[in-house]
């Protein structure tokens, strides 16, 4: 799939300047990976957002002057249509629902979540992949999701929650993520959350490795220019340095010799390709 180079450069410029000003947010590497991956390499997500946007427009046409809502099947409470659609899409695609809601309304980029939850009800295995230090709301969600998992298991057959239980954790390579798994005999939510906090304290610094937000934007931009816009590495680096770079340019030589910037990008590209393969395996729905 060929991508327009000017669109890639405009998107990178937006992420480097305008979006941080509007949101006041700072992003983890996995969130920036999500911005680019979901915009250029995740057509199913884009189709889901496009459909939700089209349905919202149709609902607004039918209900002029009022905000379209959906009634909760269990409680009967009315919720904004865009909010409910965003929650459903966020859950299915492993992306942040709040950014999906902005994408439906304003076509904003969509970030991956800082943690991904994999629930296997048949075998009774709960697995969480943590890509960055968790915010308060992320930890609340983790506790809520795990308690819901236990509740589902106990509804099928009574379970006894143990203090020690069977919890495993490990750090994996690229992207850097902490994997924590709970299986039979199940731990209580209190014990599980405690283990997560302890593992984050022990391994948290490793989750922060990999460079700044700006260098992550740089490697994605040059990768897309070279891989999807039919440019050479040197041409892609030149465009980044000229149009976007600011303080984050790749070092280049005027001569035909390979520069340190090209060598650095080769390393960045190999690292990024590995992360893309991981996201395709773990985050894309079947």
* Span 97-128, pLDDT tens digits: 999 999 998 889 999 999 999 999 888 899 99
Domain match, 20 and 54 both: yes
Q: Would 156 be classed as within a structural domain?
A: yes
- Answer yes or no: do 101 and 167 share one domain: no
| Structure tokens belonging to residue 269 | 């590209």
Phi/psi at 259 (nearest 5 deg)? -95, 165
112 occurs within a structural domain: no
What pLDDT is stored for residue 122 in this prediction? 87
Do residues 90 and 10 both lie within one domain? yes
For the segment 153-181, the average pLDDT, to the nearest whole number, is 76
The answer to the question of residue 233 being in a domain is: yes
What is the number of structural domains in the chain?
A: 3
Last residue of a domain, one of 144, 179, 207: 207
Q: How many CA atoms lie within 13 A of 89 on its CB side?
A: 30
Q: Which of 184, 207, 230 is the last residue in one of the domains?
A: 207
- Please give the backbone phi and psi of residue 117, each rounded to the nearest 5 degrees, phi first: -110, 130
Q: What is the DSSP letter of 257?
A: S
Q: Which residues form the domain of 242? A: 213-282
Q: Does residue 194 sit in the same domain as residue 260?
A: no
Kindly state whether residues 191 and 232 are assigned to the same domain. no
Tell me, yes or no, whether 22 and 95 share the same domain: yes
The answer to whether position 34 is within a domain reads yes
pLDDT in tens, 72-85: 655 667 778 788 88
> Could you report the per-residue pLDDT of 199-241, keeping only the tens digit for each?
998 887 777 666 788 899 999 999 999 999 989 999 999 999 9
Q: Establish if 251 belongs to a structural domain.
A: yes
One domain for residues 85 and 137: no
Query: Which of 75, 106, 137 represents a domain boundary (last residue)?
Result: 106
Q: What is the pTM of this model?
A: 0.87
């Amino acid at each position: 799939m060929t991508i327009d180079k000017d669109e890639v450069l405009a998107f990178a410029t937006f992420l480097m300047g305008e979006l941080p000003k509007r949101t006041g947010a700072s992003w983890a590497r996995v969130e920036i990976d999500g911005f680019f991956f979901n915009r250029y390499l995740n057509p199913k997500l884009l189709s889901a957002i496009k459909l939700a946007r089209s349905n919202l427009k149709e609902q607004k046409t039918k209900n002029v002057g009022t905000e379209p809502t959906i009634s909760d099947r269990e409680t009967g409470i009315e919720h904004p249509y865009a909010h409910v659609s965003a929650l459903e899409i966020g859950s299915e695609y492993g992306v942040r629902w709040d950014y999906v809601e902005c994408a439906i309304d304003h076509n904003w980029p969509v970030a991956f979540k800082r943690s991904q939850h994999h629930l296997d009800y048949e075998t009774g295995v709960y697995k969480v992949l943590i890509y960055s230090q968790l915010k308060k709301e992320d930890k609340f969600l983790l506790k809520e999701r795990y308690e819901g998992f236990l509740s589902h298991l106990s509804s099928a057959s009574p379970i006894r929650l143990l203090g020690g239980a069977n919890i495993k954790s490990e750090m994996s390579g690229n992207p850097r993520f902490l994997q924590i798994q709970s299986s039979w005999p199940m731990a209580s939510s209190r014990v599980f959350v405690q283990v997560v906090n302890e593992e984050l304290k022990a391994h948290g610094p490793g989750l922060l490795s990999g460079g700044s937000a700006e260098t992550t934007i740089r490697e994605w931009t040059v990768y897309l220019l070279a891989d999807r816009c039919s440019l050479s590495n040197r041409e892609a680096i030149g465009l980044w340095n000229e149009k976007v770079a600011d303080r984050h340019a790749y070092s280049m030589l005027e001569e035909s010799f390979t520069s340190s910037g090209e060598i650095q990008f080769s390393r960045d590209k190999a690292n990024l390709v590995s992360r893309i393969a991981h996201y395709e395996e773990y985050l894309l729905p079947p």
